Amino acid sequence: MLRLKSGGKAKTDESVTVTSGTLESSNVNAAQSLISMIELQRLYEFQIKSINSTDQNEQSAERLMLTSGA
């Protein structure tokens, strides 16, 4: 039974039935979604490693410039 926001009872729809032993079909492919999620995680990790590498290269270049200019 459903209740409305106002607290009243919702009308019953006599055309609605419950069927036992059936599966709900979905438009989502679970295996493909999992594969996509793994690919996105790997891409994210690659991008983070690239950013860290760029930061390290920048710091190394800055140290070289400071030592060669002193």
DSSP the chain: --B-TTSPBPPP-TT----TT-----S--HHHHHHHHHHHHHHHHHHHHHHHHHHHHHHHHHHHHHHHH-
Q: Which tens digit of pLDDT belongs to each residue from 14-57?
A: 898 888 877 777 778 889 999 999 999 999 999 999 999 999 99
Q: For tokens 């860290």, what's the residue?
A: 52
Q: What span, in angstroms and rounded, lies between the C-alpha atoms of 51 and 59?
A: 12
Do 1 and 9 contact (CB within 8 A), yes or no?
Answer: yes
More confident site: 68 or 62: 62
Question: Is the pTM value of this prediction over 0.75?
Answer: no
